[in-house]
Structure 1
Amino acid sequence: MAAQNNTPDRQAPSRVPDLGTLMVDTGHGNRTGEFRGLAGPYWSLRPVSGGSEWEAVPERVRPPTPAERLTAENARINARSRRGLEW
């Protein structure tokens, strides 16, 4: 049996995530974004603090670690606070 490469940035995703799911794109410097949909063979992700979407190769996208999730949630809250948005 051949050995498998189980590094986090090369694992194939099991399925397409739900809209708004937080994901980490290892192909773009571990950028964290919300899944926004499909763009051909790519996944469209959007920064949690706002900004332009980018396309990610699905095989290079993984769920965030607890620390990455916390950092992303803090960025989202700070961005909302700067814009004066209500909860």
Structure 2
Amino acid sequence: MTEDTQRPTGDRTAPDDVTQYEIGALVIDSARQRLGMVMGHLGGHLQLRAPSGGVEWDCTPEFARTPLSGEVVTATTPGQRA
């Protein structure tokens, strides 16, 4: 498998620069299909935490993207999770 087939495709793929996302910004981790708040940058990864709290996780920059407004509302509205 080539590197190109392992990366997400489409116009919503973000550049590989984690610092483009400021601390406190909301991003979608497309590898996990989760909304996260940027808590930090470490070792070329974004450190994310769910807006409702919980354990942080690492997200590689190629899987991070800015969420659409509907994705933020759905992920942060109580009772909307399956």
Q: Does 1:71 align with 2:80?
A: no
Q: Distance in 2 between matches of 1:13 and 1:69?
A: 22
Q: Would you identify which runs of 4 or more consecutive aligned residues in structure 1 move more than 3 Å? A: 8-11
60-69 or 5-14: which moved more?
A: 5-14
Given candidates 12, 21, 24, the residue that maps to 2:15 is: 12
TM-score (norm 2): 0.71
User: How far has the Cα of 1:27 moved from its partner?
Assistant: 1.4
In the comparison of the two structures, how many residue pairs are matched?
Answer: 71
Q: Which runs of 5+ in 1 are unaligned?
A: 79-87
TM-score (norm 1): 0.67
Identity across the alignment (%):
30
RMSD: 2.4
* Greater Rg over alpha carbons, structure: 1
Q: Which amino acid aligns with 1:74?
A: T
Q: Distance in 1 between matches of 2:40 and 2:66?
A: 16
| Alignment correspondent of 1:26 | 30
SS in 1 for 2:28: strand
**Residue pair 1:17, 1:35 contacting (<8 A) in 2 also:** yes
- In terms of fraction of residues, the more helix-rich structure is 1
Q: Which runs of 5+ in 2 are unaligned?
A: 1-7
